[in-house]
Structure 1
Amino acid sequence: MAQVSINNDYSEWGLSTDAGERARLLQSPCVDTAPKSEWEASPGGPDRGTTSTLGAIFIVVNACLGAGLLNFPAAFSTAGGVAAGIVLQMGMLVFIISGLVILAYCSQASNERTYQEVVWAVCGKLTGVLCEVAIAVYTFGTCIAFLIIIGDQQDKIIAVMAKEPEGASGPWYTDRKFTISLTAFLFILPLSIPREIGFQKYASFLSVVGTWYVTAIVIIKYIWPDKEMTPGNILTRPASWMAVFNAMPTICFGFQCHVSSVPVFNSMQQPEVKTWGGVVTAAMVIALAVYMGTGICGFLTFGAAVDPDVLLSYPSEDMAVAVARAFIILSVLTSYPILHFCGRAVVEGLWLRYQGVSVEEDVGRERRRRVLQTLVWFLLTLLLALFIPDIGKVISVIGGLAACFIFVFPGLCLIQAKLSEMEEVKPASWWVLVSYGVLLVTLGAFIFGQTTANAIFVDLLA
């Protein structure tokens, strides 16, 4: 491997290497990691991680699968049918896997252990700050989507319990805004305030069980449909090439596990790029099977009439689907605090870096600042969730940011890492990799611009 010289000077903003919670940011729920100061040894040294290859596959699959699954049938409808949806996902898979491998390579080259630290070290201060801001906005938007999902599922469950026809107005305590707010204040807020999150392993288990159960239900309901379910128009081709790109945000949101992949790579017993390539390939094939199963069967069951949240398309009285709704609610209730923790950590790191102080120097005000950050974050996400009608509108916005994590930042890291190699004569492989990095950045920027503009002018301002 050519010698690499990568800028990782944190002193530009007077930053200590442990600025707030940033050193623990976005650790995988199943990964125990040591502080960076204990990891100055090489990846193959005595301080290597404890995660096996099989364990790493499970963690990456868990990080990939999530609430975005509910929007995949609608994405197939948007893309123009089953064939267009399959081709789009298969094409995206190549870039998704390559981005994960690039991040592992750059993590080794820079000796950094989280996504934003890798971007900061490899690409410099400006790109690093943009990456951290993007993570904060992405986690904020995902928290809004989680609250909307809670409201969607509660509406159906309450309708069954109250024995009222769908769409009928019930008592004030069954109002959607009241039930979302009550659930959020009783469960989500208390779980979001603590400085550390010790229940991540339970959230991981619930998320995995809920996701697989939803997929199984969607497939079973397609094979043995209920009599009252009649599909809408089954599209066979996209209305235009732009319609295909409109499905990109859901796919990017669903497959975006890149931010949490770097800690997983460094937690492996053998953190080698070649081994990691096999891990992420296997994990993405599993995720692809789950997403395709849900997307294809959900779309063929309801056609163009499918809701942005596929579970809303099923009758409220269906008990098997009601169990799926309960699983999703439990998963989201425990996933919101984790996403909030990640966003809060970025905000905390940016604030301490701006102030030029370390966490040790500012311990006295940490609790007060943490509570204030949590309350502001929680109230803003709750307020927006109460007035945004469905998760499709949120995913259309944050899906563009997910494209940045999949394409733009890995592409920039690859370009900068190759430019930093001290070789007088550049081999053909060097030019190929730099060109591929440029392709990633260009493609990611296009997807981000197109999907974000479409979300703003079509979905939000419509």
Structure 2
Amino acid sequence: MTIVSVKPATERKSKKNKQPIVDEKSPLLPTKHSEDGGFDEFNGASFSGSVFNLSTTIVGAGIMALPATMKVLGLIPGVVVIILMAFLTESSIELLLRFSRTAKSVSYGGLMGDAFGNYGRMLIQLCVLVNNIGVLIVYMIIIGDVLSGTTSGGSHHAGVLEGWFGERWWNARFFVLLITTLGIFAPLASLKRIDSLRYTSALSVALAVVFLVITVGITLFKLINGTIMMPRLFPEITDLTSVLNLFTVVPVLVTAYICHYNVHSIDNELEDNTQIKAVVRTSLALCSSVYVMTSIFGFLLFGDETLDDVLANFSTDLGIPFGSLLNDSVRVSYAAHLMLVFPIVFYPLRLNLDGLLFPSARPLASDNCRFAYLSTGLIAVIFVGANFIPSIWDAFQFTGATAAVCIGFILPAAITLRDRYGIAAKKDTVLSIFMVVLAVFSNVVAIYSDAYSLFKNGPSHRE
């Protein structure tokens, strides 16, 4: 892979003095030529727009599974782990950005190619494909659960449309997801510049906050009335199996913070790319606050009855005034949020698939036929997956234990340990070794525990 740099990335501080950096084969590269299809370069993204786009990348479906992690870990260890994951994510992104500046790489794929050659570039492309397809399938599953209902542990949780109109052919899961795909996902996924999604990203963050505010309000009301029991502060540990079960939450937590595949794309479009570190820190602080609040109040509200997808819990009687209206408001607001997150995660997915299949072709945005075929094919695969995968926890376990942990921790650590330019400090090496050991050990144990639960004990405890 050839990387041609007209001007070092570290000197790109304003729209006036930015120069295009061309790397047509990098999978995550929204180059000025490829983004605009040959028009003038775009590098005028604002700080706030970048924060919204990165925050939207982070706060997706993972937030819905976090209350269920509190059920496994207990309230105190659960909150501690969420905060720890935020710091590790910030550190891994900082390593990526620092090595990208030195290598003059403008994409994750370009950096992996610089460090490990063509096989490294292909590895990150495959990881992003697996992770993002899994995440987008989760989005569709949740939207289907919210609008059409879901069955868990033998209990049926009615969807919003089913509650309003009863069971009808047009509010069945397949039909609802089909209309959502054709009417919302497909048009938003057709946009070729990530900054074009800044307004939908801002709206999606606002909708996530609406979900959080309503959840907090309901929980506080029930706390004042004394209708909420004290939740478990620590996990229940009785034997080795219960210890191993604690690690099943790791893939979910990893997936909740994965945003690395969009950092370079956002950085490339920033008017002042020296702001990217502040963008990352602001986004992580915002998202961590939302995660902690959602985990605490979601677990407080539902306790041991918390489902894998906490939105499904809002189909039950909350025992408060206007409970039905609040239930519907929570579920509809977050379903709308996920609909607006979809194109942000779909954007790098399409670029990676194009880079993997057509590494020598002209930029994707300048080839409308290839752009349309890839977009249509990916959306079709995601749609089919959402109709056949039963649980978001199953999807999180697969993607989180494989691709997500590579994208977020193992590959940034590998780039640092490779240290091709000799810029890694001793603390960077220690941190990288820690991330690799933690990631590998935790996910091996998580996979073993899930497999043991599945084949020895039947359905998992979360059902």
Band the TM-score falls in, shorter-chain normalisation: 0.7 to 0.9
CA drift of 1:229 comes to: 11
Cα contact 1:153–1:326 (8 A) shared by 2? yes
Q: Hey, what does 1:405 align to over in structure 2?
A: 407
**CA shift digits 1:355-389 (9 cap, x unpaired):** xx3317997xx444444433332232222211222
Distance 2:233 2:365 in 1: 59
Deviation string, structure 1 residues 271-305 (Cα, Å, up to 9, x no partner): 45xx7555534432332211110001100111111
Cα pair 2:52 2:202 within 8 Å, conserved: no
1:98 Cα deviation after fit: 0.9
Cα 1:362–1:328, aligned 2, differ >3 Å: closer, same or farther?
A: closer
Q: 2 CA distance for matches of 1:143 and 1:332?
A: 9
Residue type at the aligned position of 1:126 = Y
Question: Offset of 1:457 from its aligned partner?
Answer: 6.2
Aligned to 1:216: 213
Q: Is the 8 A contact 2:27 2:355 kept in 1?
A: yes
Residue of structure 2 in register with 1:333 after alignment: 339
Q: Secondary structure at the match of 2:119?
A: helix
Partner residue, 1:179 = 176
Q: How many residues align?
A: 414
What SS does the aligned partner of 1:246 have? helix
The one of 70, 73, 78 aligned to 2:72: 78
1:276 and 1:107 map into 2 onto residues whose CA distance is 12
Kindly provide the amino acid, as one letter, of the partner of residue 411 in structure 1. Answer: A
The answer for the alignment partner of 1:27 in structure 2 is none
| CA 196–421 in structure 1, closer or farther in 2 if over 3 Å, else same | closer
Post-superposition CA distance 1:323-350 (Å, at most 9, x none)? 2322223232333244333222211111
Task: Report if aligned partners of 1:141, 1:394 keep a CA contact under 8 Å in 2.
Answer: yes
Native 8 Å contact 1:103 1:262 kept in 2:
no
What letter corresponds to residue 340 of structure 2 in structure 1? Answer: T
TM-score, normalised by the number of residues in structure 2 = 0.77
Matches of 1:262 and 1:361 in 2, distance apart? 17
User: Which residue matches 1:441?
Assistant: 436
Q: Does 1:204 align with 2:197?
A: no
Partner of 1:34: 32
Provide closer, same or farther for how the CA distance between residues 448 and 115 of structure 1 changes in structure 2, counting only shifts above 3 A: farther
1:266–1:352 distance in 2 versus 1, CA, 3 Å: closer
Q: Return the alpha-carbon distance in structure 2 between the equivalents of residues 368 and 455 of structure 1.
A: 42
**Residues 1:377 and 2:378 aligned together:** yes
CA–CA separation in structure 2 for the residues paired with 1:431 and 1:341? 36
- Determine the structure 1 residue equivalent to 2:110: 117
> In the alignment, is the contact (CA less than 8 A) between 1:210 and 1:331 conserved in 2?
yes
Give, as a single letter, the amino acid of the residue that structure 2 aligns with 1:379.
A
Of 63, 66, 84, the residue aligned with 2:60 is 66
Aligned residues of 2:28 and 2:351 also touching (Cα < 8 A): yes
**CA–CA distance in structure 2, aligned partners of residues 20 and 265 of structure 1:** 15
Change in Cα spacing, 1:108 to 1:193, as seen in structure 2 (3 Å) is closer
- Structure 1 residues 279 and 351, CA gap change in structure 2 (3 angstroms): closer
Please say if residues 217 and 321 of structure 1, whose CA atoms lie closer than 8 Å, have aligned partners that are also in contact: no
1:292 aligns with 2:292: yes
The yes-or-no answer on 1:359 pairing with 2:362 is: yes
Task: Tell me the residue number matched to 1:343.
Answer: 349
The runs of 5 or more residues in structure 2 that have no matched partner are 5-21, 149-158, 317-322
Do 1:406 and 1:444's aligned partners in 2 also have CA atoms closer than 8 Å?
no
Contact 1:9 1:121 in 2 (8 A): no
Counterpart residue number, 1:251: 253
What corresponds to 2:265 in structure 1?
A: 263
1:135 paired residue number? 128
Equivalent AA in structure 2 for residue 296 of structure 1: I
Tell me the amino acid that sits aligned with residue 164 of structure 2: M
Q: Distance in 2 between matches of 1:19 and 1:34?
A: 13
Aligned-residue offset at 1:37:
12
Structure 1 unaligned regions, length at least 5: 1-7, 25-32, 39-46, 165-169, 423-428
Q: Call closer, same or farther: CA 1:332–1:459 in 2, change over 3 Å.
A: farther
| Comparing 297-306 and 64-73, the one that deviates more | 64-73
TM-score, with structure 1 as normaliser: 0.78
Are the structure 2 counterparts of residues 330 and 94 from structure 1 closer, same or farther at C-alpha, using a change threshold of 3 Å? Answer: closer
Contact 2:51 2:279 in 1 (8 A): yes
